[in-house]
DNA sequence: CAGATTAGGTTTCCGATAGGAACCAGCAGG
DNA sequence: CCTGCTGGTTCCTATCGGAAACCTAATCTG
């Protein structure tokens, strides 16, 4: 267990705290993962992610754009085409997110098992 | 840019998706970081984190407990004392989270700058 | 014994947010 | 003119987060 050390708290008012709260959103990690392979269209993300509504996807992308992690490129075509891609800053988040999702892939079942064990506290100890 | 590869999407219905949504909560990452150094009391977390309400902290800890990442230990004393600590499974999350917070520490200012530049689109280009 | 204090947790109220579905904008094709 | 495609927004509702008060239980003060 590495821990964060005494001066490492980041639990107060430093910008790191803000950055963590920025990406620790229900959809942000998934959206960034969806953008990790290159420019993707709005509709592609909708289908790729699965479960996110257009409204929330738009909001998430706008927030990421405002924070400099995502760039929006709207083509003046018909039907309209809008592509989103990671900025260089956003690209630096891919490795951390990749590590996180690797953890999730490796431990997702363990989490489900724990959830299972917890939801049946019916001690039939006989 | 590494990306996640074609079969790496995790964007569908795999357990990894659930695990990501579990930890991609506004407070979960901060709480886990607060637990990374060892057993901590409820009130200690409140002060350590700063900004979280008791209700939400309790909810977050309960959820983490249900998912097998945190263990709760209530001492039958007065005044009551309750300590929370990471389970072995929860401890495996510290490294990924550490990497994430390191990113936040390194790039927090860049994010703030982008936020700044975005919120003043007043092009006084003269 | 009555009252204040400590510590964890719950309840109540309120504002913010997510989710779903429908609707809007702009243009190509019939 | 109507339909369809695509991105985005609006409306309504359910849920969640935050603040503050209240609850329990024991210890200290008087």
Q: Give how many domains chain B has, as a whole number.
A: 1
Mark yes or no for CB contact A114/B13 under 8 Å: no
Mark yes or no for CB contact A30/B17 under 8 Å: yes
Measured CA to CA, the distance from residue A89 to residue B9 in angstroms comes to: 21
Asked if residue A13 belongs to a domain, the reply is: yes
Asked if residue B7 belongs to a domain, the reply is: no
Please state, rounded to an integer, the average pLDDT across all residues of chain A.
82
Asked if residue A123 belongs to a domain, the reply is: no
Q: Is the pLDDT of residue B1 over 60?
A: no
Q: Is the pLDDT of residue B118 over 90?
A: no
Q: Is the pLDDT of residue A90 over 70?
A: yes
Nearest-Cα distance to chain B for A64, in Å, is 10
Task: Render pLDDT for A20-69 as a digit per residue (tens, 0 to 9).
Answer: 878 888 889 889 989 998 999 999 999 888 888 899 999 999 999 999 99
Measured from the CB, is B39 under 7 Å from any atom of strand C? no
Mean pLDDT (whole number) for A97-125: 79
Give me the CATH number covering residue A66. Answer: 1.10.10.10
Asked if residue A126 belongs to a domain, the reply is: no
Name which residue leads in pLDDT, B111 or A78.
Answer: B111
Contact B91, A3 (CB under 8 A): no
Q: Which nucleotides of C are covered by protein (CB under 7 A)?
A: 5-12, 18-22, 25-28
Hey, is A82 helix, strand or coil? strand
Q: Is the pLDDT of residue B67 over 50?
A: yes
Mark yes or no for CB contact A89/B110 under 8 Å: yes
Asked if residue B45 belongs to a domain, the reply is: yes
Mean pLDDT (whole number) for B29-58: 91
Nearest-10 crossing angle of helices A28-35, A42-49 = 120
Long-range contacts of B78-86 (CB under 8 A, 24+ apart): B81/B41, B82/B41, B82/B42, B83/B39, B83/B40, B83/B41, B84/B35, B84/B39, B84/B40, B84/B41, B84/B42, B84/B45, B85/B35, B85/B38, B85/B39, B85/B40, B86/A1, B86/B32, B86/B35, B86/B36
Model pLDDT, residue A6: 40
Q: Which of A1, A25, A94 sits opposite B24 (nearest CB)?
A: A25
Q: Is the pLDDT of residue B115 over 90?
A: no
Q: What range defines the domain where residue A100 resides?
A: 6-118
């Amino acid at each position: 267990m590495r821990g964060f050390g005494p001066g490492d708290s980041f639990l107060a008012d430093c910008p790191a705290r803000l950055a963590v709260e920025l990406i620790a959103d229900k959809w942000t990690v998934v959206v960034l993962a969806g953008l990790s392979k290159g420019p993707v269209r709005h509709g592609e993300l909708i289908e790729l992610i699965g479960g996110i509504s257009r409204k929330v996807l738009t909001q998430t992308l706008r927030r990421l754009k405002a924070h400099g992690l995502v760039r929006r490129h709207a083509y003046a075509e018909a039907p309209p085409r809008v592509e989103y891609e990671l900025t260089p800053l956003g690209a630096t988040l891919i490795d951390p997110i990749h590590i996180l999702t690797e953890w999730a892939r490796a431990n997702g079942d363990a989490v489900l098992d724990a959830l299972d064990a917890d939801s049946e506290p019916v001690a039939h100890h006989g």
